[in-house]
Structure 1
Amino acid sequence: MKKEETISLSTYDPAWPKLFHYEKHRIKKALGMDLCDIEHVGSTAVEGMIARPVIDIQAGMYSLRLTEPLYHKLESLDYTLTEEIENERLLFTKRTNLSINLHIVLYDGERWRNGLLWRDYLRSTPKIAQNFGSFKHGLVRNGVHDLQEYISQKLSFINNVINYSNQKKGWG
Structure 2
Amino acid sequence: MPTRREIAAFDDTPPPDGLSPWVSGSEDRHGDVAIAEPDPRWPKAFALIAGIVHDALGARALQIEHVGSTSVAGLPAKPVVDVDLIVADPDAEAGWLPPLLAAGFELRVREPWWQRHRLLKRWDPACNLHVFGPDASEPWRHRVFRDHLRRDAADRELYAAVKREAAAAANAHGETVTRYNERKEAAVRQIYARAFSAAGL
TM-score by length of 1: 0.89
- Which residue of 2 is the match for residue 98 of structure 1? 125
- Which residue of 2 is the match for residue 19 of structure 1? 45
- Which residue of 2 is the match for residue 70 of structure 1? 96
Q: Which runs of 5+ in 1 are unaligned?
A: none
2:62 maps to amino acid: C
Q: Does 1:54 align with 2:84?
A: no
1:127 maps to amino acid: A
1:2-56 C-alpha deviation (Å, 9 max, x unpaired) = 3235310100110000010011011012122222111100000011111000000
Task: Output aligned runs, 1:1-172, within 5 Å.
Answer: 2-68=28-94, 70-86=96-112, 87-88=114-115, 89-94=117-122, 96-107=123-134, 109-142=136-169, 143=172, 145-171=175-201
Aligned partner of residue 90 in structure 2, secondary structure: coil
Q: Structure 1 runs of 4+ off > 3 angstroms? A: 167-170
Aligned partner of residue 103 in structure 1, secondary structure: strand
- Which residue of 1 is the match for residue 23 of structure 2? none
Deviation, 1:85, is 2.0
Aligned partner of residue 46 in structure 2, secondary structure: helix
Deviation, 1:168, is 3.7
Q: Which runs of 5+ in 2 are unaligned?
A: 1-26
2:97 maps to amino acid: Y
Deviation, 1:132, is 0.5
2:176 maps to amino acid: D
Q: How many residues are treated as equivalent by the alignment?
A: 170
Structure 1 contact 60–108 (Cα < 8 Å) conserved: no
Structure 2 contact 144–199 (Cα < 8 Å) conserved: no
CA–CA distance in structure 2, aligned partners of residues 30 and 19 of structure 1: 17
The structure where strand makes up a greater share of residues is: 1
Q: How has the CA–CA distance of structure 1 residues 153 and 124 changed in structure 2, closer, same or farther, with 3 Å as cutoff?
A: same
Query: Considering only CA atoms, is the larger Rg found in Structure 1 or Structure 2?
Result: 2
Deviation, 1:166, is 2.0
TM-score by length of 2: 0.77
CA–CA distance in structure 2, aligned partners of residues 84 and 68 of structure 1: 14
Deviation, 1:69, is 5.1
Structure 2 contact 63–86 (Cα < 8 Å) conserved: yes
Structure 1 contact 37–107 (Cα < 8 Å) conserved: no
Structure 1 contact 42–115 (Cα < 8 Å) conserved: yes
* Sequence identity (%): 22
Deviation, 1:164, is 2.9
Quote the RMSD (CA, aligned, Å).
1.9
